[in-house]
Amino acid sequence: MNRKEAKELDLKQYDGKACDKCENTKRYVSNYNCVSCQNNKTNKYAKTDTAKNRHKIYISGRLDERKAAQKKYQATYKGQAHTKDYYKNNKDKYRDSTLKRTYGISLAEYNDMLKAQDNTCAICDGTSKKNLHVDHDHATGEVRGLLCHGCNTALGLLNESKDTMRKMVNYICQRSP
């Protein structure tokens, strides 16, 4: 019986050409695959329930291959290792380009603002272990000053609303002894 006849009779399997791998002649009607080889493929993933887990098994088998390729790429100094080293040696250059791109000021202008504020936050006069944040008007993009993390976050959470800030000050004045 051939595949066409098996299909007309609504059979799931038929006797066909011998498999190249296992020489079994039983084949599935739906996809021509050898029954034995197809069952072995599904048994390979029988312990896993989801397609996600099957994917993990497939990927984990290729993990060593991918790691070797990544190391080879990094060894040519075009990959991640080169970028990290370059960044470590050129932090000021990166900081300058970020400030210019984001706020339109240079690193020298940032340092001048920092010196004018005595290396402290423009609101609370606190100091920061890291760089102070550049405060700017979101509507116009104009830089207003340098703030510590806490003040910058508070200003952002208040949506820079003067009215809300006044209400908060009034609230604290009324409720505090």
What CATH number corresponds to the domain at position 164? 3.40.1800.10
| Confidence bin at 122 (pLDDT 50/70/90) | very high
Taking the alpha carbons at both ends of the chain, their separation in whole angstroms is 97
- Residue 15 is assigned to a structural domain of this protein: yes
- Residue 127 is assigned to a structural domain of this protein: yes
Output the six-digit token pair for 45. 């993933």
CB of 19 within 8 A of CB of 25?
yes
- Residue 77 is assigned to a structural domain of this protein: no
Q: 124: which residues sit within 8 A by CB, 6+ positions away? A: 148, 150, 151
What is the pLDDT, as a whole number, of residue 39?
67
Q: What domain count does the chain have?
A: 2
Q: Is the pLDDT of residue 150 over 80?
A: yes
Whole-number Cα distances in Å, 64 to 6, 28, 39, 69, 71: 44, 35, 28, 9, 11
> Phi/psi zone of residue 95: left (φ > 0), alpha (ψ -120 to 50 degrees), beta?
alpha
CB of 112 within 8 A of CB of 141?
no
Looking at 11, 26, 44, the residue that finishes a domain is: 44
What is the pLDDT, as a whole number, of residue 44?
46
Q: 122: which residues sit within 8 A by CB, 6+ positions away? A: 135, 144, 145, 146, 147, 151
Rounded Cα distance between 15 and 175, Å, is 89
- Residue 84 is assigned to a structural domain of this protein: no
Q: Is the pLDDT of residue 48 over 50?
A: no
- Residue 126 is assigned to a structural domain of this protein: yes
What's the domain range around 7? Answer: 3-44
- Residue 136 is assigned to a structural domain of this protein: yes
- Residue 76 is assigned to a structural domain of this protein: no
Mean of per-residue pLDDT scores for the chain: 79
Segment 65-80 mean pLDDT: 66
- Residue 119 is assigned to a structural domain of this protein: yes
